[in-house]
Structures are given as structure tokens and as C-alpha cells.
Structure 1
Amino acid sequence: MTRSLRLSSALLLACVIAPVHAVAPEDIRKAECAVWQRELDFARSVAEHDAVAFAEHLHPDAAFGVSGKPTRGREAITREWAGLIDGTALVLRWYPAVVTLGGDGRTAYSSGPALYEDPKTGAMRLGRFGSVWQRGDDGVWRVLFDDGIPPQPADAAAVQRFRDGEGAACPAA
């Protein structure tokens, strides 16, 4: 069998086996806005120091800090984030700037700015986050992967730009 024929056969088999998930444009927008809101709710769980709500946003097998040495699992992540959730180690705020639904309709990517404040000194730093969300069989979106870029010192103008972006509505709505 020639390489071309083997490749064609493999592609044909993949197309037959793989389910087709055509997602209508209105369903894409609806799902992206659902993830947008879920991301805002996730950030609110930290702002309100609610460890239970924080954990409810995590996939049981989530991995955080995926570009380095990841922390794996809902319980381990919640433990590691305890000082952020209660605000003693760091005051962290973030919001989505973009949400994109994957072709399967069950996976989405969200990204946006993050503001880090040292609770002792008040020093502000800005970074960005990126999260992969997965919709469970129960219809609830949960974070599966999370990471970010290291924050950099932020001046008053940069902090104000962050604050000006808070509360933006889902652009897909």
C-alpha cells in the first residue's frame, strides 16, 4: 500500500470514527458568553474569599501552572491558592478579555488581564491569565487548565486601564 493510500485510508477512518460536532453560530456565541460569565464568577469567588465557590469552578482533574510544574487536582489547587482566596498572600483580580469556543462545543479558552496587589505594601503588578474550560455532562463549565504570564510592576495609569476594563459585557452577546 502506498504512503498516500495509507494516509487517505487513515483520514477516511478518522472521519468515520470521529463524531462531527457542528456548532451553530448562535450556539457558539451563547456558549462563549456562558464561559465569560463563569470566568467572572470564578474571579468573584476569590474576591469574596469563598473557597467553596472557588473549588466548584475547578474540574476535579484540573492542572494549574501548566507551563511550569503544574499543581494537579481540585483539592491540591484549592490548598495552594488558599492565601490568594483569603487575600492574605495576595489580592488577585482578573476578568476575561476574550473567550473562544472549541470546535467540539465542550471546550473553551479564556484569557485576560490580572491585577496582583501585595496586601502588605499595596504594590501593584499586572499579568495575564489563560484558562481552558470544559463543559461537563451536567452542562457546567469548569476550569481544566490554567496558567498565566509573570506579572510586571504596574503604574497608576496601567492599574486604571485594568479597572476601566472590569465589568465589560461579553462581546459575543
Structure 2
Amino acid sequence: MVAFSTNRDRGEPGCRFATAPVAPALVQYAPLSRMSLPMLAALLVTGALGATSLSPDLAAVVAAERGFALDAHRFGTRLAFLAHFDADAWLLRPTPVPALPALARDPDDGRLLEWGPKQVAIAASGELAVSTGPWAAHAAGATQYAHGHFLTFWKRGADGIWRVQADAGVGHPTPAPPTPGVTALVDASATAPLDAAALAQRRIALENADDALRAALARDPAHAFDAFADPALHAMRDGQLPADGAAALELVRKDASGLGRGARRALDLSASGDFAYTLGGDPACVECGSYMRAWHWRDGAWKLLVDLSLSNR
């Protein structure tokens, strides 16, 4: 993400840290009295009170996100991003770029960023997940904050550590204070493991769904999402507060720009074949915009669970 961006690829610098990542488990229980930034403190306090209703797998994702945020508070934003991004991670700036080279070029100028998860989802296989929630940022010494919401995809490695796979965000007016707790975007039901052939077919179906949505956005933006939206759709647009469910569908219907139809750059799906993400965008097609999307397998088809679309301008 740019060093200080309202399209929060989380709004600040950071590149792959040369040593092992700061383990989220080591920082998630840091004394709250040390958190001077008001929104981060509120998110961590209210989030901690609501975490018990989450499954152990979802709680691990929340711990990873909170650990990331706490590392930024304790050790600086740059070091936190160095520690928590994977080697193959992506950022939207606003088109997709490999994260590490982009973050390596960012200055460490002392700008402060605070954030916390409010909604999460995870694959039945427990290794691929998404988190989203509010962020606030300001330059060193400044008193005014920029606000927005982030979208982060996480993957648990063979070593058991959760690392960021893709990150983006939107900016918007100052939101209401955070409400208690972290909620699940969708419940991950028990799913039998897929063999290699079935998983390959599920991947083809994902590519087809993403292609069909992008084609629909080029053809009829106002109704493009109707056939793809999950009932729990979470929509994110720059300048707008995020929305869920019917309100999310209304939000994307109001966007007549057709943003989010740029060429796909990356995708990944879980071993259980029930959760995936896609992302895309092309600087050569400014009017196409860029996107990051979470998909959920429901009733024999891929349904759109989260949509973040950005202008390339």
C-alpha cells in the first residue's frame, strides 16, 4: 500500500521482514494500558469481549489481525508490515502490485495507522480467511485522522503462522464508534475434503464465476451483482461506509461505473473448495477499475461474499 493512502492497502509502509514474523500470540495480550491510540484501544477492548462466540479457527484469524495491529502500535507500522506480509502478497495501489517490492520503496515517515477486525470468514479447511474492519491514520504530529475500512486475505502456512496474502481498503467519512465484538460473515459448515480432480473443477468454476461477473459489469453495471451476490454480501466502495446484505446489494447497484471488471491478476481457493478470493485490475484500462473479492461456495455455485472495487484514477 502507499505510504499513506485512504485506499488503505493499509495506509502505510512495510515490506517483508528479514527474520521470522512477530508471533501474533506474543502480542495479542499486550497490556491495554499501553495503547494510547483511541480507536485501536476501543477495537481491542470491544473485540476481546465479543471473541468468545467465534469458532477456534475464526478466533485464530482475529488473533492474527489483532497481533498485526498491535505490532504496528508497539514496533511501528513499517516493521509490522515487514513481519506480517507473505512473500507472494498483493496490494491494490489502486491496481494490483506485488506487495514486497512496493512496500520496500515506501518511506518510513512515522505516520500512524490503527485498525481492528470487525467481520471475518474462514474456509472449512481452516487455512484461508478474510478479515475486514475500520482503520484510522494520521501523519506524525497531526491531530486529524483519515478513516476507512480494510480488506485482508490471510493464509495459514505449513508452520502454522497466518500471513497476509492480499490487502486493500477504502476511505470514507468518520464512522460511528465501533460496536462490541467480532462477527462471522458466514458460517463455515463441515465439508468433506475434495480430491485433486474435484478441487481443480472447483477452481475452474471460480474462474468462470469471476469472468462472468466482470463481463456483467461491462454489460449492465446496475444489475451485474444480482446473480452472484451471497445473501451475506459485504460491499466496500471508496467514499462510502461498507454495507451488508440487502444494503450491500443496493450500494453496488447504485454504482453505475462498472468498476471491478479489470483483468484478473490472482486467485486462491481453500483445500476444502468452499472459500476463495480473486483480485484484478489493469493500469491500461483506467475505466475498468480494480477489485478484491471473497467467494463462498453455496448450493453448488460460487457466491460473492465480499466485494471491494476501486477506481484506477
Q: What's the TM-score once normalised by structure 1's chain length? A: 0.63
Match for residue 74 of structure 1? 100
Q: Structure 2 CA distance, aligned partners of 1:80 and 1:71?
A: 13
In structure 2, runs of 5+ residues without a counterpart are: 1-53, 185-313
The answer as to 2:83 corresponding to 1:56 is yes
Q: How does 1:16-165 map to 2 (within 5 A)?
A: 29-48=55-74, 49=76, 51-65=78-92, 68-74=94-100, 76-80=102-106, 82-83=108-109, 88=110, 90-152=111-173, 154=174, 158=175, 161-162=177-178, 165=179
Q: How does 1:162-173 map to 2 (within 5 A)?
A: 162=178, 165=179
How far does residue 121 in structure 1 lie from its aligned partner after superposition?
3.5
Q: Structure 1 CA distance, aligned partners of 2:147 and 2:77?
A: 23
How far does residue 71 in structure 1 lie from its aligned partner after superposition?
3.3
Does the C-alpha gap of structure 1 residues 100 and 78 become closer, same or farther in structure 2, counting only changes over 3 Å?
farther
Q: What's the TM-score once normalised by structure 2's chain length? A: 0.37
How far does residue 59 in structure 1 lie from its aligned partner after superposition?
0.9
How far does residue 65 in structure 1 lie from its aligned partner after superposition?
1.8
In structure 1, runs of 5+ residues without a counterpart are: 1-27
Per-residue deviation, residues 83-130 of structure 1 (Å, max 9, x unmatched)? 3xxxx2x32110000110024421100000111223343112220000
How far does residue 131 in structure 1 lie from its aligned partner after superposition?
0.3
Q: Structure 2 CA distance, aligned partners of 1:37 and 1:78?
A: 26
Q: Structure 2 CA distance, aligned partners of 1:112 and 1:81?
A: 25
Q: Secondary structure at the match of 2:55?
A: helix
**Structure 2 contact 72–79 (Cα < 8 Å) conserved:** no
How far does residue 150 in structure 1 lie from its aligned partner after superposition?
1.9
**Structure 1 contact 117–124 (Cα < 8 Å) conserved:** yes
One-letter amino acid of the structure 1 residue matched with residue 161 of structure 2: V
**Structure 1 contact 64–70 (Cα < 8 Å) conserved:** yes
Question: Which is bigger in relative contact order (C-alpha 8 A, separation at least 6)?
Answer: 1
Give the RMSD, CA atoms, in angstroms: 2.6
Match for residue 20 of structure 2? none
**Structure 1 contact 33–170 (Cα < 8 Å) conserved:** no
Match for residue 257 of structure 2? none
How far does residue 169 in structure 1 lie from its aligned partner after superposition?
5.6
Of Structure 1 and Structure 2, the greater helix share is in 1
**Structure 1 contact 107–134 (Cα < 8 Å) conserved:** yes
Q: Structure 2 CA distance, aligned partners of 1:169 and 1:33?
A: 11
* Count of aligned residue pairs for this structure pair: 130
Name whichever of 47-56 and 96-105 sits farther off.
47-56
Does the C-alpha gap of structure 1 residues 57 and 43 become closer, same or farther in structure 2, counting only changes over 3 Å?
same
Q: Secondary structure at the match of 2:69?
A: helix
Per-residue deviation, residues 14-38 of structure 1 (Å, max 9, x unmatched)? xxxxxxxxxxxxxx81121111011
